[in-house]
Amino acid sequence: MDKETIEETIASNLKTQRKNLFLSQAELSNLVGILPSSISRYERGFRAPSVFTLAAFSKCLETDLDTLVFGNIELSPAAIAKEEADANG
């Protein structure tokens, strides 16, 4: 995997696992101790988190570091249902 692919994987997995745990960006930022705007940048792939921040994400998102960096986390059925409910207002 090249650097760009790893960064895209991290971005996708951060966002997906956050949604699986029904956390907002603000809630996750409070747990990790960083600004909500940083969460947004990480999830959009504009910045890559440091190894220390990745470790904090791993703990707060209840997943191992290897899965967060190299895995393929999928949206849970409950998270999909919530997104659909939110979209339908």
Predicted confidence (pLDDT) per residue in 19-72, tens digit: 999 999 999 999 999 999 999 999 999 999 999 999 999 999 999 999 999 999
Give me the pLDDT at residue 3, please.
84
Give me the pLDDT at residue 51, please.
95
Write the CB contacts of 18 (distance below 8 Å, at least 6 apart in sequence).
25, 28, 39, 43, 61
Q: Containing domain of residue 51, as a range?
A: 3-87
Q: Is the pLDDT of residue 1 over 80?
A: no
Q: Report yes or no: 73 and 67 within 8 Å, Cβ to Cβ.
A: yes
From residue 77, alpha-carbon distances to 19, 20, 54 in Å are: 11, 9, 25
**pTM of the model as a whole:** 0.91
Predicted confidence band of residue 11 (pLDDT cuts 50, 70, 90) = very high
CATH of the domain at 54: 1.10.260.40
Number of domains in the chain: 1
